[in-house]
Structure 1
Amino acid sequence: MHISTKCSVAIHCLVFICEYGESKKVTSELLSLSTGVNPVTIRNIVSALKKDGILSVKFGTGGTTLNCSLDEITLYRICNAIEPDFLNKLIGIHASPSCLCPVGRSIHGVLDSSYQNVREDLQKSLQNISMEEIMDKYHQQTENT
């Protein structure tokens, strides 16, 4: 139970596209080399980001570019594009507690509102971090190495 590594791969791809998309034709093969992830997985991630409107992909010759400004792309938007139900998967309740047990009968009611509060807090936190901030951190990091 965690945020999928696909989200960090998607962020990696977006950083790469921001950094090199103007000067290079960014393809799934190139992103695969940078991330160490299979090109098919990269294509699935790019497809999800394209469907959300974050990326544009040129057909035929290939190449991926940003479709919106960095401040419009939040970590929540990225994670939600990659895995639409990620908050419920991250903070979910087991599906089949025993109705014969007093705890089993009550556990969903006990946890539902608390877990919903956690989901909402996490969503707000992820919505407050943009790719603009990620790119600033990336540039700071590369200046220090």
Structure 2
Amino acid sequence: MHISTKCSIAVHCLIFISEYGETQKVTSNRLSLSTGSNPVTIRNIISGLKKEGILSVKFGTGGTTLNCPLEDITLYRICSALEPDFLDKLIGIHATPSSLCPVGKNIHSVLDAAYAGIRDDLQISLQSISMKDILDHYHKLYR
């Protein structure tokens, strides 16, 4: 199973923006230094979060700010903004089972039913964790 590292980088960026966005200009270069990620990767993440309505970006001089309350930003919303089909790609099913085999010709249907419950459970879990929860935990640990 796999959730892209883009989601954890996005959470890192959102914490940084929440902590410093009111007092400093938060740019993709600054976020790149904080996350250790390429500035292009950061710009792509910012773009996805902006399209989702999570962030605002000032044109010209730059600077990124939160566009909605932390309570409204869930891990599911973040992951979906960056990879809309991440739940479908989460658990892979081998692509070419034998259609001549009774197991092979039915395995996709069998596994789809089993894996659907896992995807649903994960979606519910990701929807239950907000950036406010994450930031509160961050503050407990590091303030």
**TM tier, shorter chain?**
over 0.9
Aligned to 1:44: 44
2:114 is matched with which residue?
114
CA distance in structure 2 between the partners assigned to 1:133 and 1:84 by the alignment: 23
Alignment of 1:41-120 (within 5 A): 41-120=41-120
Distance 2:142 2:76 in 1: 25
Deviation of residue 92 (structure 1)?
A: 3.0
> Is the CA contact 1:92–1:115 (under 8 Å) kept in the aligned structure 2?
no
Q: State how far apart, in whole Å, the 2-side matches of 1:53 and 1:41 are.
A: 19
Read off the aligned partner of 1:127 and give its amino acid letter. Answer: Q
Match of 2:15 in 1: 15
Deviation >3 Å, runs of 4+: none
Letter of the 1:114 counterpart: A
Aligned length: 143
Greater Cα shift, 54-63 or 107-116: 107-116
TM-score of the aligned structures, taking structure 1 as reference length: 0.96
Give unpaired runs (5+ residues) of structure 1. Answer: none
Mapping 1:115-130, distance limit 5 Å = 115-130=115-130
Task: For 1:20 and 1:63, locate their aligned partners in 2 and report how far apart those are by CA, in whole Å.
Answer: 11
- The one-letter amino acid paired with 1:83 is E
Inter-partner Cα distance in structure 1 for 2:12 and 2:138: 10
Verify the 8 A CA contact 1:55 1:65 in the aligned structure 2. yes
1:51 Cα offset (Å):
0.3
**2: CA distance, partners of 1:116 / 1:128:** 18
Q: Work out the CA distance in 2 between the residues paired with 1:75 and 1:94.
A: 28
1:103-145 per-position Cα deviation (integer Å, ceiling 9, x unaligned): 21110121111111110000000000000000001101112xx
Identity of aligned residues (%): 73
Partner of 2:34: 34
Match of 1:137 in 2: 137
How many Å separate the matches in 2 of 1:123 and 1:108? 21
Structure 2 residue runs without a partner (length 5+): none
